[in-house]
C-alpha cells in the first residue's frame, strides 16, 4: 500500500521524461493507492497551472484530468486525528504535506513523492518513503 503524492501523479500522467517513466513504474508496482481527500484537487490545480504557463497543452491536461477522476484511489477524509497529526508537524512540513504523511502513518503505508523536502521530513518522522522520483 502506498500514499500517492499529487506531484508524482501529475508527473506520471503528463511527462514523457525518464522521471515520468520512473513515476509510472513505481505506481504500477502497487495497486493499493491511498491519498488524503484534497489530492485530486491539488492535481487538477497543477494541471491548470501547467496549461496557463504553456508547459502542458490543453488536450493533454484534459486527458490527465479524465484519468485522475477514473483512478482507483482510496481517498482518506481528514478526521480529527489526521488533522491533529498534520498540525503537530506544522513546523517540519506544510499542513497539506502533513496530511499525506498522516495518512501514511495511520495506514502503515509508504509515501511515493517527487518532493525532496516531503521525503526528507517523512524520513525524519520515521515514515517509509517508497521512492523519491527526482
Bridge partners of 76, per DSSP, are 36
Residue 88 and residue 99 in contact, taking contact as beta carbons nearer than 8 Å: no
Its pTM stands at: 0.89
The C-alpha cell of 25 is what?
A: 513504474
- Summarised one tens digit per residue, pLDDT across range 56-105 is 999 999 999 999 999 999 999 999 999 999 999 899 889 999 999 999 99
Question: Considering only CA atoms, which of 99, 95, 93, 96 is closest in space to residue 116?
Answer: 93
**Is residue 29's pLDDT more than 70?**
yes
**Is residue 132's pLDDT more than 70?**
no
Amino acid at each position: 500500500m502506498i500514499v500517492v503524492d499529487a506531484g508524482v501523479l501529475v508527473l506520471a500522467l503528463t511527462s514523457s521524461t525518464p522521471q515520468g517513466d520512473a513515476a509510472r513504474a513505481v505506481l504500477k508496482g502497487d495497486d493499493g493507492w491511498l491519498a488524503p481527500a484534497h489530492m485530486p484537487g491539488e492535481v487538477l490545480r497543477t494541471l491548470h497551472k501547467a496549461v496557463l504557463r504553456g508547459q502542458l497543452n490543453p488536450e493533454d491536461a484534459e486527458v490527465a484530468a479524465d484519468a485522475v477522476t477514473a483512478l482507483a484511489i482510496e481517498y482518506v477524509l481528514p478526521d480529527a486525528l489526521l488533522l491533529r497529526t498534520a498540525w503537530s508537524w506544522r513546523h517540519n512540513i506544510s499542513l497539506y504535506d502533513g496530511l499525506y504523511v498522516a495518512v501514511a502513518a495511520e495506514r502503515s503505508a509508504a509515501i511515493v513523492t517527487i518532493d525532496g523536502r516531503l521525503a526528507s521530513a517523512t524520513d525524519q518522522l520515521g515514515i517509509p518513503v517508497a521512492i523519491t522520483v527526482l
